[in-house]
Amino acid sequence: MQAVQFNGQPFSMKVKTLPIPKITSPTDAVIRVTSSGICGSDLHTFHGRIPVKPPMIMGHEIVGIVHTIGSKVQDLKVGDRVIVSAVIFDDGLDGDDAEIGGLGFGTLPGVEQFNGGQAGFVRVPFASDNLLLLPAGQEHELDYVLLADIFPTANWALDCAGFVFGDVVVVFGAGPVGLLCAYSAFLRGASKVYSVDHVPQRLAKAKSIGAIPIDFSKGDPVAQIMKHEPQGVDRACDCIGYECVNAEGVNEGNLVLTQAINVVRSGGGIGVIGVYAPQDAGGATPALKKGIFEIPFGESWLKGQSIKSGVVPLRQYQPALKRLIESGRAKPSFVFDREIRIEDAPEAYKEFSDHDFIKSVIRLDDGENGSLIEEEEVEEKSSAQKKRKRNGTNA
């Protein structure tokens, strides 16, 4: 099979021909991948900011078909169409979910490294706990890809912030997860959503779903928002993490946390689902290398704010969000604007890092079902990209 592999060199991905993975435990399943997204958190690995034991196959946003199953997997059969959850859990006999690791995500403390699914096939440990059965066919393929991680994560961000119906929300980051956070806030009854970013096409997409775009390259986003919300907003969601940048494009890891504290009202809440790794090889100081950030906690304490963060409990969100998709109430796949072949993945990583597109998906069914992205949408994005290149911009 072909697979996108990280070999430990930052800003470099390779497509390799590798053996198809095999069952190594009776609770395993091997999935033939049909679609696999490139996620913003993959860029932390690409940038060399997450510890990895190379080589590692990338990818944790996976939809596919069950290829083989272990002898103890009783609730699935070969040929079933499934979502593979990005975070691997083992639901023990005591009923508690134990987080084991992540697919294609590296070796953070207490987290086991597994090969991911930007590949023809992927082995899934504890398959019964980490696969969600789907209807046969291709319907909602791209919507389901987003159920593997970022659509649940977007809703987790709102819950971490303490969101309730009618709230005013600011979402930091208008990449795929930030856009889905803003989208989910509207689905759940937000009265107003601000979307903070500096990439024009991302801000335009945020505006298209009803959010108020705030371009931080044009001034302090807190000041821009406070002109309209003098008491502060009810909730803030950090959908960027420690690779956030300032108006000059320089990484300033504590910036979004600081801005969130400053913009949220007294008694409000902050949800932090952007990655803040406890080990950061690219940290500029000894403290940052250990994930230690300076933030105005005194201000947060005085305001009585709540701050919650952590890894999304995926299976708590997936069934309900799946029903929203199948009922037609939610279509999270609006964030996709690039469909690629696996051999194009190394270049796509570079372009994603440069913000040349919002979200891409690797198709591994040889395109036998045609494009899954609306043709007119692809043409619109392609024209926008060409225009930016002619104007010499690559924000």
Using alpha carbons, select from 33, 38, 17, 15 the residue that is nearest to residue 361: 38
Looking at the fold, whether 217 and 75 belong to one and the same domain comes out as no
- Confidence band, pLDDT 50/70/90 cuts, at residue 100: confident
Assigned domain for 107 exists: yes
Average pLDDT over residues 323-352: 97
CATH number at residue 239: 3.40.50.720
Cα angle: 272, vertex 359, 246; to 5 degrees: 50
Last residue of one domain, picked from the residues 288, 309, 330 = 309
- Residue 394 inside a domain? The answer is no
Residue 214 included in any domain: yes
132-150 CB burial, b ≥16 within 10 A, e <16: bebeeebebbbbbbbbbbb
Task: Give 190 or 92, the one with higher predicted confidence.
Answer: 190
Average pLDDT of 225-254? 97
**Which tokens sit at 239?**
């959908």
Higher-scoring residue by pLDDT: 139, 111 = 139
Q: Are residues 176 and 290 in the same domain?
A: yes
What are the tokens at 90?
């083992």
CA 270/CA 153 separation, integer angstroms: 14
Whether 395 is covered by a domain: the verdict is no
- At 375 the pLDDT is 45
Residue 386, pLDDT > 50, answer no
Q: In 23-60, which positions are buried (b, 16+ CB within 10 angstroms) versus exposed (e)?
A: beeebbbbbbbbbbbbbbbbbbbbbbbbbbeeebbbbb
- Among the candidates 309, 338, 366, a domain finishes at 309
What is the domain range of residue 341?
2-149+313-389
CB-CB contact of 150 with 126 (8 Å): no
Q: Quote the pLDDT of residue 317.
A: 96
Q: Kindly state the percentage of the chain with pLDDT values over 90.
A: 84
Reported confidence tier of residue 338, pLDDT bands at 50, 70, 90: very high
pLDDT at 258: 98
287 and 342 belong to one structural domain: no
**What average pLDDT is seen over the chain?**
91
139 & 213 share domain: no
Q: How many residues does the chain have?
A: 395
DSSP 333: G
Pairing label, strands 112-114, 168-172: unpaired
Residues 14-19: what's their mean pLDDT? Answer: 98
219 plus 168 within the same structural domain: yes
Question: Does the structure show a pLDDT above 50 at 388?
Answer: no
**CATH number, position 21:** 3.90.180.10
Please report which confidence band the pLDDT of residue 282 belongs to, taking 50, 70 and 90 as the band edges: confident
Same domain, 157 and 299: yes
Specify the number of domains making up the chain.
2
> How many whole angstroms separate alpha carbon 306 and alpha carbon 162?
8
**CB under 8 Å to 81, separation ≥6 — which residues?**
63, 64, 65, 66, 133, 134, 135, 136, 137
Asked if residue 161 is part of any domain, the answer here is: yes
> Could you give the CA distance from residue 100 to residue 77 in angstroms, rounded to a whole number?
24
pLDDT given for residue 281 in this prediction:
80
Other beta carbons within 10 Å of 114: 20
Q: Do 366 and 376 have their domain in common? A: yes
User: Do the domain assignments include residue 183?
Assistant: yes
Residue 366: half-sphere exposure toward Cβ, Cα within 13 Å: 1
- Helices 314-327 and 150-160 pack at an angle, to 10 degrees, of 110
Is the pTM above the cut of 0.85? yes
Q: Final residue of a domain: which of 309, 344, 360?
A: 309
- Cα(263)–Cα(280) distance, integer angstroms: 27
Coil, strand, or helix at residue 9? coil
365 and 248 housed in the same domain? no
Choose among 342, 327, 337: nearest CA to 62. 342
In a domain, 94, yes or no: yes
pLDDT value at position 216?
A: 98
* Residue 274 contacts residue 181 (beta carbons within 8 Å): no
CA 117 to each of CA 41, 94, 288: distance values in angstroms, whole numbers, following the listed order = 14, 30, 30
Q: Are residues 69 and 132 in the same domain?
A: yes
Q: In terms of domains, do 355 and 302 share one?
A: no
Assigned token pair, 330: 């939610």
Annotate 226-245 with DSSP letters as a single string.
HTT-TT-EEEEEE-SBTT-B
- Whether 192 maps to a domain, the answer reads yes
- pLDDT value, residue 387: 41
Tell me the pLDDT band of 196, cut-offs 50, 70 and 90: very high
Same domain, 154 and 206: yes
Co-location of 231 and 380 in the same domain? no
What local confidence, expressed as pLDDT, does residue 381 receive?
46
Three-state secondary-structure class, residue 118: coil
| Tokens representing residue 36 in the block | 């696999």
pLDDT in tens, 79-91: 999 999 999 988 7
CA dist., res. 134 & res. 35, Å (int):
14
Write the pLDDT tens digit of every residue in 128-185. 999 999 999 999 999 999 999 999 999 999 999 999 999 999 999 999 999 999 999 9
